[in-house]
Amino acid sequence: MVSLNLDREVEQRLGDHDVRYTRGRRVVVSALAASDGPRSAAELHREIGPDLPLSSLYRSLSVLEDAGVIIPHHGARTLTRYELAEWLAGHHHHLVCVECGSVEDIEIPKKHESRVKALVQELSDGASFTPLNHALEIEGRCSKCT
Amino acid sequence: MVSLNLDREVEQRLGDHDVRYTRGRRVVVSALAASDGPRSAAELHREIGPDLPLSSLYRSLSVLEDAGVIIPHHGARTLTRYELAEWLAGHHHHLVCVECGSVEDIEIPKKHESRVKALVQELSDGASFTPLNHALEIEGRCSKCT
DNA sequence: CCTATAATAAGAACGATTCTCATTATAAGG
DNA sequence: CCTTATAATGAGAATCGTTCTTATTATAGG
Ligand SMILES: [Mn+2]
Ligand SMILES: [Mn+2]
Ligand SMILES: [Zn+2]
Ligand SMILES: [Zn+2]
């Protein structure tokens, strides 16, 4: 899913935003690239380890979001999870478990995707709304929680 | 959108959960029934007025959620908005403005809805996921923010 | 090397939400 | 009507994720 030149592309993008691609930022991007779904600051901190303090992790997330490298996902109460932006990870949707709160990426076949896209455009037109993106979130129970 | 017997149905549901349909809870349900989209505690408090203290409002929201009368929506950072559950308000989707954060309800024609539903089922099957519901969130700019 | 600027890290501050607990309202029996 | 047990309320403290402040450290150029 993730480009082989991920670091190259992120470096480029951060350069365009006049910020450096530092160690802390690299490790965050790397952790998100290895995830099969969005991750919260706490989850990333657990995964990355205490070498990257929470305050620094939060600031890295903020910088990466401003640069458009990652995007926030708000599927759970009082918790923001992040994932690589779609220009890096590809367009996809989510399976959200109502039991354990986990969120997993899911891709949908192109033909279905184009149908959804057309529907989104049609609905937006009818509401004088300018669509930029759409998210299909499927809520239910994951295989572990069944 | 909302049943004419809303109060009747909510009263019934709360009774099944052994909680009373008190004044505070009624005013919250009424405010949500009058909204064209999900509302946060702060928004409801502004709308309802200071007669219902925030702490009571929050507890009313919690009780109503436990009873399945309202459901939380997590479209905005660090903020939970609530709306009437679908068995009361009907199934629908959302237009989310990335500029001002507002969220508006939108209904989609039945034929489209059934297509989406079929797609959701198909995707879930392929991931051994048990779907309970789905949410199509259209992100973009509302008419005010264009 | 120097120096200006950017990034980091520790902890304080903040805001939304939840909890605690003393007070008040309500329903059911007597 | 009273009584009494239970439920609900409201004020404020506590909590938790997140953001801000500020002193220190790292880095890119000159
Ligand atoms: Mn994702
Ligand atoms: Mn809605
Ligand atoms: Zn699960
Ligand atoms: Zn708007």
Task: Kindly list the domain boundaries of chain A, sorted by start residue.
Answer: 1-86, 91-146
- Locate tokens 């079929």: which residue? B118
DSSP code of residue A83: E
Taking only the tens place, the pLDDT of each residue in B25-63 is 999 999 999 999 999 999 999 999 999 999 999 999 999
Would you call A4 an interface residue with chain B, using a CB distance cutoff of 8 Å? no
Q: Which of A80, A129, A140 sits opposite B130 (nearest CB)?
A: A140
Whether the model pTM is above 0.85:
yes
pLDDT bucket at B1, cuts 50 / 70 / 90: low
For residues B106-141, one letter each, b for 16 or more C-beta atoms within 10 angstroms of the residue's C-beta and e for the rest, the string is bebeeebbebbeebbeebbeeeebbbeebbbbbbbb
Per the rule left: phi > 0, alpha: psi between -120 and 50, beta: everything else, A26 is: alpha
Fold topology of A1-86: Arc Repressor Mutant, subunit A (1.10.10)
Is the per-residue pLDDT at A132 higher than 90?
yes
B137:A134 CB<8 A: yes
Strand C closer than 7 Å to the CB of B61?
A: yes
Taking only the tens place, the pLDDT of each residue in B77-114 is 889 999 999 999 999 999 999 988 899 999 999 999 99
- What would the CATH number be for the domain defined by B91-146? 3.30.1490.190
Mutant choice from B98, B123, B145 vs A, greatest count of A C-beta within 10 A: B123
- B89 SS3 class: helix
Strand D closer than 7 Å to the CB of B49?
A: no
Non-local CB neighbours of B110 within 8 Å, separated by 6+ positions: none
